[in-house]
Amino acid sequence: DAVVIQHEYGLYGGPDGSDVVRLMRQVTVPMVVVLHTVLPHPTGHQRHVLNTIIARADQVVVMTQNAQQTLTRTNTVGETPVVVIPHGATNVADVSPNPTSERPVILTWGLLSPGKGIEWMIDALVALRDISPPPRYIVAGRTHPKVQARQGESYRELLVERARERGVSDLVEFEDVYRDSASLRRLILSADVVVLPYDSFDQATSGVLVDALVADRPVVATAFPHAVEALGNGSGLIVNQRDSEALSAAVRWMLTHPEKARVMAGSARSNGPDFSWPAVARSYLEVIGRLVAARELA
């Protein structure tokens, strides 16, 4: 037997999720800790919590090479082995896309919260109105429950007002729903370009990015670490954070060069890791198998 612990600072109780340490003290079988967030400049307490977690783990898993390098650079891991296993994604081959839209579809999806950068893509739409026919920008996803508990729908309302002020309300569609897996995959397949306009400079892992790559969707993303690693070989377009002009130019290129955009999107899977869940599961089973065998021999 083994235990796999998914670590995110806001996932567990206590300051910076420190309550997970109490859980780990009760575990007597090998422990694998999966780090979803690896900060290049953690606070002193965040560093303490992470160091304690890693010291108790038998194996650490990160999802990108960048995250592994950050752990090494910040001298966080000590003697605990670290392996890279990519974030998994569901194959879209078994679903059909939504009916084709007469207008090109720009898509951003995921739980809505400040920092997602949606406002910059709304600003970028002003310069894209001249495309014929004009694009639809679909923002799909519920507000993050923790954000909703603290702030209600203030961020969504800010975005709606921003679209009105910029004169692009007719180009933006907010879908405040939770889609099941099949419905989400159909939506992804209907997109002409997926945009990840995140404000963060530190985001180590993005499941949305992986889902877009597996679906062979052209991607425009800001320069957060996972995007730079996944798209930096020419598999997508990367722009600076909070730069609506750069977003507009990149999205325009994708929409006006559809064949080149499709080739670019296809190269992401051929040049990158296997993101399929069966491949990811095999990697975890190999890691766990080694740990269990080593414990039995000890």
Mark whether 40 and 112 lie in a shared domain: no
Same domain, 259 and 141: yes
Residue with tokens 């309302």: 157
Query: pLDDT digits over 204-227, tens only?
Result: 889 999 999 989 999 999 999 999
Determine the average pLDDT of the residues in 26-47. Answer: 93
- 95 is a domain residue: no
The pLDDT of residue 73: 84
Say what the pLDDT of residue 92 is. Answer: 67
Number of domains comprising the chain: 2
Q: How many CA atoms are closer than 13 Å to the CA of 4, on its beta-carbon side?
A: 12
What pLDDT, on a 0 to 100 scale, did the predictor assign at position 93? 62
Task: Please answer whether residues 176 and 55 qualify as being in contact, where contact means their C-beta atoms are separated by less than 8 angstroms.
Answer: no
Q: Is residue 94 part of a domain?
A: no
pLDDT digits (tens, 9 = 90+) for 121-170: 999 999 999 999 999 999 999 999 989 999 999 999 999 999 999 999 99
For residues 173-194, give the mean pLDDT: 92
**pLDDT given for residue 252 in this prediction:** 98
Task: Name the token pair of 202.
Answer: 């530190």
Identify the CATH number of the domain in which residue 166 sits: 3.40.50.2000
Same domain membership, residue 280 and residue 265: no
Residue the block writes with tokens 């995140």: 198
What tokens appear for 86 in the block? 């990519």
Residues 77-128 pLDDT 10s: 778 899 999 999 877 666 666 667 789 999 999 999 999 999 999 999 999 9
Nearest residue to 125 via CA among 157, 153, 164: 164
What pLDDT is recorded for position 131?
96
d(C-alpha 101, C-alpha 162), whole Å: 25
Domain range spanning residue 260? 105-271
Q: Parallel, antiparallel, or unpaired: how do β-strands 59-62 and 82-84 relate?
A: parallel
Please report the pLDDT score of residue 5 as a whole number.
Answer: 97
Tokens representing 61 are: 């898993």
